[in-house]
């Protein structure tokens, strides 16, 4: 390392440490994020959904079974089966129901009313 490089390297190290402190204090956003790995994280299992809980989620959203099914990208028969206790949500469906339950606004953004329904709602 030459004598000309040392002062520049020192200045870069000081600047880097100042940026690290600013990021740690929330005053600066990092330039990039590193991916989390399974060794570094714990992922909780989605909750279990019985028939009454599925119905509560759907009703809280104010959706019919056909609209709820379309929003979740499942069949109406699947939603009906969940609500009647004939079927039990599993795998990705449990996580999706969790999102619908916790973040209803996100789910509702995928819905738009037809013009006739929107006009009738606005007139009421």
Q: What is the reported pLDDT for 31? A: 79
Which residue, 37, 78, 34, 70, is CA-closest to 54? 78
Give me the domain span that covers residue 58.
Answer: 51-111
Would you say residue 57 lies in a domain? yes
In a domain, 66, yes or no: yes
| DSSP assignments along 18-48, one per residue | HHHHHHHTTSS--S--PPP-GGG---PPPPP
Dihedral of the alpha carbons of 13, 14, 18, 20, in degrees to the nearest 10: 20
Residue 9 forms part of a structural domain: no
pLDDT at 81: 98
Q: What is the CATH number of the domain that holds 75?
A: 1.10.260.40
Tell whether 16 is covered by a domain. Answer: no
Judge whether 23 lies within some domain.
no
Indicate the number of domains in the chain.
Answer: 1
Residues 6+ apart with CB under 8 A from 33: none
Q: Please classify residue 89 by burial: count the beta carbons closer than 10 Å to its beta carbon, then call 0-12 exposed, 13-18 middle and 19+ buried.
A: buried
Ranges under pLDDT 50 in the chain = none
């Amino acid at each position: 390392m030459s004598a000309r490089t040392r002062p520049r390297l020192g200045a870069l190290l000081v600047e880097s440490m100042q940026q690290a402190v600013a990021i740690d204090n929330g005053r600066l956003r990092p330039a990039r994020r590193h991916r989390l790995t399974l060794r570094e994280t714990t992922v909780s299992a989605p909750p279990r959904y019985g028939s009454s809980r599925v119905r509560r989620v759907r009703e809280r959203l104010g959706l019919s079974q056909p609209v709820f099914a379309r929003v979740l990208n499942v069949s109406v028969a699947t939603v009906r089966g969940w609500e009647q206790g004939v079927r039990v949500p599993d795998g990705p469906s449990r996580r999706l129901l969790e999102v619908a339950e916790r973040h209803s606004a996100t789910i509702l953004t995928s819905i738009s009313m037809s013009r006739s329904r929107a006009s009738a709602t606005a007139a009421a």
